[in-house]
Amino acid sequence: MNLKTIREKIKNVSDYSPEVLAYDNQMDSIINDAYYSIWTERRWEFAQKLAFMNVYPDVDASTVTGVTASTNDGQRIVTFSGNVDALHETHAHIWVGNIFEIAGREYTILKIVSLTQIILTEPIRHTTTAATIAGQTDWKIKARFYHMPHDMIEIFNLAHRDAPVPGSTGPNQGKAIGLARRREEDFNLREDKTSTYAEAYVTVPPIVIPSGEKLTIATTSVGASALDTGSFPSARTYEFCWANVSGGRMGPLSEPTTVTTPDGSNYYYLTASFFTWDDAVYAARAANTSVIGDPRPFEGLQKVLYYNANFDTVTGARRGLPSWRTVTDFDRSGIKNKEDSPLLFADTDATGNVRHPQCLQPGSDRYIENDGIYERIRPYPRIDSQDFSYPNVYDTFPGTTVLRVQDKFRQMECRYFFKPAKLTNKTDTPQMPFEFHPLIVFKALEDIFVKSGNTALANHYAKRTAIEIKKAEKRYIQHTDVNYRRGQFSGGQVSAWYNPDTLSTAG
């Protein structure tokens, strides 16, 4: 059953079916609550995903030949003498929040400015009185922490396998044992121990990305012809919101807003302006190398826009619950290597332009609500190895030069319990076997009758839900097979007899 069928079945059973969009939206919210409630009721086999998790060796002066680091005492900026290809923007999600070591001390990376510059969360200190130290070769970037997928609820298994490198042999195969934080602290496992593979992994505190706040959208005409600078048609309405991004991870969405292009024959581009709730500009101050101290507000938080794909651009009305999809980085002037990637704005940007309706690409990545909380793990030992390395390769296509960035290749296989996207469009179908779909109806009816004060029917559907879940457990819950063994017979008395009254063996 899709969302529309589930909604109609609930209306039929409840004998109340007004054709009002507001009521349908309320019902869709209840259906999604029921969907997630049943989804998280058990660790269903169908609610699991397999994914490969990339792991990365250390990056230092020995792996980036000839590149040294320059630092200033009391400042948070590190400048390299040449390009560190591992810092490419496509790899920002790896290193932001991870470790930079220099002169024997570790710091946390807050922001990657370019291939030659990073910013840390705290000022660097020198052990000498020198204000600036250049030519340092004792620097190292470490991937100690790994962020779990944004749709993960719980990790089940993390292992080195013989895929995706067929024929791989040796001690680099096997399961990484999950250790609770308290257990790891009891063992006092070394945090900087390295190996070619991980024997275990430890859950560490998650990171939390703050939410977006307010948004306004303005239109600017480019004339009567669609141009590379703008091609949105006239008399169309769109709905947008935005989220903060740190290292490729999105926070909660801002308050949505709509924009309508004026009537007429002109074409337009859109300008998004980011604000706080008190109408101040939501942007970090530009980095200042002379500033000593802690990170500035909003520093390191990029912005990404989302558009509502469940929206009628002609009438300017929602068709149901919003379906937020990423605004992509489309360029009308020619082929672009990143035109399917999110359109990102810097932490210092107070505004950003969306120039073409192709940026609102059907089927782009959907936003999955996770409240900006991203679970993290620490492999033990830290993996400092690779199966093989890919070099930088530049290819020239019509109108552009495309870089395939250098990469160090090694992966682990991860199996985890995931959270599905909301049901927003009429044809959206729950990501569970069809026999579970009536369960969603029963659970939704329970909530609807509780809301209307009909306790008897609410209890009736609560019992039906519990019965059907018990039936589903037999098929979709993994049970460990047990081999039972008959107990051994004793060959004689194996302990001294005693009198229970006197606790004596004397009789």
DSSP string across 310-369: SEETTTTEESSS--EEEPB---TTS--TTTTSB-EE-TT-SEEEE--GGGS-TTPPBP--
The CA distance from 491 to 488, in Å, is 9
Using alpha carbons, list the distances in angstroms from residue 384 to 182, 194, 274, 440: 25, 6, 40, 46
Residue 463 lies inside a defined structural domain of this protein:
yes
User: Both 299 and 230 in a single domain?
Assistant: yes
Residue 505 lies inside a defined structural domain of this protein:
no
User: Both 279 and 357 in a single domain?
Assistant: yes
Tokens 């969306």 appear where?
Answer: 354
**H/E element holding 473?**
helix 455-476
User: Minimal CA–CA distance to 81: which of 68, 72, 71, 65?
Assistant: 68
Can you tell me whether residue 179 is helix, strand or coil?
A: strand
Q: For residue 125, which amino acid is it?
A: R
Residue 483 lies inside a defined structural domain of this protein:
no
Q: In 15-66, which residue ranges form alpha helices assigned H by DSSP?
A: 21-39
CB neighbour class for 104 (10 Å; exposed up to 12, middle 13-18, buried from 19): exposed
Using alpha carbons, list the distances in angstroms from residue 17 to 23, 347, 443: 9, 47, 18
User: Both 98 and 13 in a single domain?
Assistant: no
Name residue 259's beta-bridge partners.
238
* DSSP class of 227: B
Can you tell me whether residue 9 is helix, strand or coil?
A: helix
pTM equals 0.86
Give the distance, in angstroms, between the CA of residue 299 and the centroid of all CA atoms in the same chain: 20
User: Minimal CA–CA distance to 136: which of 58, 66, 63?
Assistant: 66
User: Both 26 and 132 in a single domain?
Assistant: no
Q: Are 505 and 498 in contact (CB under 8 A)?
A: yes
Phi, psi for residue 418 in degrees, rounded to 5: -115, 165
User: Both 35 and 49 in a single domain?
Assistant: no
Using alpha carbons, list the distances in angstroms from residue 329 to 119, 221, 343: 25, 20, 4
Residue 71 lies inside a defined structural domain of this protein:
yes
Can you tell me whether residue 405 is helix, strand or coil?
A: coil
| pLDDT value at residue 499 | 62
List the pLDDT tens digit at each of the 507 positions of the chain: 999 999 999 999 988 888 888 999 999 999 999 999 999 998 999 999 999 999 999 999 988 888 999 999 989 999 999 999 899 888 888 999 999 999 999 999 999 999 999 999 999 999 999 999 999 999 999 999 999 988 999 999 999 888 777 655 555 678 889 998 888 889 899 999 999 889 999 999 999 999 999 999 999 999 999 999 999 999 999 999 999 999 888 999 999 999 999 998 899 999 999 999 999 999 998 876 666 677 889 999 999 999 999 999 999 999 999 999 999 998 887 666 666 789 999 999 999 999 999 999 999 999 988 788 899 999 999 999 888 888 878 776 655 666 777 788 888 999 999 999 999 999 999 999 998 899 999 999 999 999 889 999 999 999 999 999 998 888 888 765 555 555 555 555 555 555 655 556 555
How many C-alpha atoms does 18 have within 13 Å on its Cβ side? 8
Residue 492 lies inside a defined structural domain of this protein:
no
The CA distance from 334 to 338, in Å, is 11
Tokens 């296509």 appear where?
Answer: 397
DSSP string across 435-447: GGHHHHHHHHHHH
**Domain span holding position 440:** 3-43+432-476
Using alpha carbons, list the distances in angstroms from residue 248 to 94, 112, 424: 9, 12, 25
Q: Are 347 and 281 in contact (CB under 8 A)?
A: no
Residue 494 lies inside a defined structural domain of this protein:
no
User: Both 451 and 401 in a single domain?
Assistant: no
Q: Are 355 and 305 in contact (CB under 8 A)?
A: no
User: Both 140 and 243 in a single domain?
Assistant: no
Using alpha carbons, list the distances in angstroms from residue 346 to 113, 216, 299: 10, 17, 9
**How many structural domains compose the chain?**
3
The CA distance from 491 to 507, in Å, is 23
Q: Are 376 and 205 in contact (CB under 8 A)?
A: yes
User: Both 255 and 141 in a single domain?
Assistant: no
User: Both 365 and 379 in a single domain?
Assistant: no
Residue 496 lies inside a defined structural domain of this protein:
no
Residue 313 lies inside a defined structural domain of this protein:
yes
Q: In 363-453, which residue ranges form alpha helices assigned H by DSSP?
A: 437-452
Tokens 């079945």 appear where?
Answer: 9
Tokens 């004998």 appear where?
Answer: 15
Q: Are 106 and 98 in contact (CB under 8 A)?
A: no
Angle CA 359–363–364, to nearest 5:
50
The CA distance from 231 to 125, in Å, is 51
Preceding amide of 206 cis, omega within 30: no
Q: For residue 167, which amino acid is it?
A: G
The CA distance from 378 to 201, in Å, is 5
455-487 per-residue burial string, b: 16 or more CB within 10 A, e: under 16:
eebbeebbebbeebbeebeeebeeeeeeeeeee
**H/E element holding 186?**
helix 181-187
User: Both 20 and 59 in a single domain?
Assistant: no
Angle CA 64–66–71, to nearest 5:
90
User: Both 262 and 172 in a single domain?
Assistant: no
Greatest Cα-to-Cα distance within the chain, rounded to the nearest angstrom: 112
User: Both 78 and 155 in a single domain?
Assistant: yes
